[in-house]
Amino acid sequence: MTARVQTARKAGAGDTRFRILTLLAALAVLGIFSGVILSLVIGAMPSFKAFGFGFITTEAWSPTRERFGALAPIYGTLVTSLIAMLIAVPVGIGIAIFLTDLCPRLLRRPIGIAIELLAGIPSIIYGIWGLFVFAPWFQLHVQEPISNAVGDSAFFGTLFGGATFGIGTFTAGLILSIMILPFISAVTRDVLETVPSVLKEASYGLGATSWEVMWKVCLPFCQTGVVGGAMLALGRALGETMAVTFVIGNAHKISPSLFAPGTSISATIANEFTEATSELYTSSLIELGLLLFVITFIVLACAQLMLRQMEKSKGKVT
């Protein structure tokens, strides 16, 4: 009897230590998160005191006059991420559907591995390839024909007109779409494989086509996973630095043309942090980092709310 009591006490002590270790791990994450936020807020204070909320609404960026505004980098970050998502989400979902149900078995594994390898390529490689290979080709075969074709149009001429340089906001968005494509396709493929076979077989038995099975059965069944993968990719697109720095053009101005050079928050920080010699200059760059943190947090929070709402609509309140 005594041996059993001792064994039970040892097991209870082991459980207590395990709970403490896991609690410390969770608290460490919160501590790191709080430390990052605190350091960014402290570093951004001189800039916030100098410019206030006008820092967000001002486009001017002049280190010599110490006038800084974040509107152009914010615009470039949001527009390039939007372009990337508009391209990568439908293509990524299409790749996942093809690999899950339509691809021949001999091609399924090679194509899947090739897509997953895209996620392992360093971002600087994407940037170099985009600058020296993709941008010249894109300028000659895409930008110039489109610019000449829509030059007289009021809307499209403004959106795609003007001088063509190869690099620019649209080019950065295309490079970002290639970079985030593996995340969307991999997550979507994994969640599509969790769809019970009986649901698809029943749908086919009722006479549904492959399109109807995927659109009306499979995607609604795993919509939370698909949205989660898309939000993961969006987080990567918002914070991408090196690839965007190479191909966006690094111009601190807002242009109505998507083919014109622009800048992003991460590209501005990467380009100018080593050149920031004054306290206000450095603080402005740190405030840009804080803004990027806030934007990413808002996007991920909205994604969580969307996922919860989708779960509630399916009757699965978490």
What phi, psi does 297 have (nearest 5°)? -60, -45
| Amino acid 241: pLDDT | 87
- pLDDT at residue 304 is higher than 90: no
- Residue 208 pLDDT more than 90? no
Q: Which of 58-67, 131-140, 200-209 has the highest mean pLDDT?
A: 131-140
Angle between helices 265-272 and 279-313 (to 10 degrees): 150
pLDDT higher than 50, residue 228: yes
The better pLDDT of the pair 5, 117 is held by 117
Dig out the tokens for 222 from the structure: 């795993």
Q: Does domain 52-313 have CATH number 1.10.3720.10?
A: yes
Q: Which of 24-28, 172-176, 276-280 has the lowest mean pLDDT?
A: 276-280
* Nearest alpha-carbon partner for 167 in 197, 132, 198, 195: 132
pLDDT tens-digit series, residues 133-190: 999 999 999 988 888 888 777 778 788 877 788 899 999 999 999 999 998 998 888 8
Any residues with CB less than 8 A from the CB of 124 and at least 6 apart, and which?
A: 242, 243, 246
More confident residue, 210 or 9: 210
Task: Give, for 297, the enclosing helix (H) or strand (E).
Answer: helix 279-313
d(CA 56, CA 281): 15
pLDDT per position as a tens digit, 82-130: 999 999 999 999 999 898 888 888 888 888 888 888 888 888 999 999 9
pTM of the full structure: 0.88
Q: CA 214, CA 203: separation in Å to the nearest integer?
A: 10
pLDDT at residue 5 above 60? no
Query: What is the token pair recorded at 47?
Result: 């800039």
> Does position 64 have pLDDT exceeding 90, yes or no?
no
Assess whether pLDDT exceeds 50 at residue 318. Answer: no
CA gap 100, 114 in Å, rounded: 15
pLDDT in the model for residue 308:
80
**Residue extents of the structural domains in the chain:** 52-313
Per-residue model confidence (pLDDT) at position 110: 85
**Residue range 262-275, pLDDT digits in tens:** 999 999 999 888 88
pLDDT band at 276 (very low <50, low <70, confident <90, very high): confident
Provide the 8-state DSSP code for 132. Answer: I
Residue of 4, 57, 80 lying closest to 265 (CA atoms): 80
| Nearest CA among 188, 228, 192 for reference residue 210 | 192
Q: What is the pLDDT of residue 315?
A: 53
Comparing C-alpha atoms, which of 241, 274, 246 is closest to residue 261?
246
Q: Among residues of the chain, what percentage have pLDDT more than 90?
A: 33
The secondary element (H helix, E strand) that includes residue 40 is helix 2-51
Residue 249: is its pLDDT beyond 80? Answer: yes
In the prediction, which pLDDT does 210 show? 82
C-alpha separations of 112 from 145, 184, 233 in Å: 34, 13, 18
What value does the mean pLDDT of the chain take? 86
Are 203 and 140 within 8 A, CB to CB? no
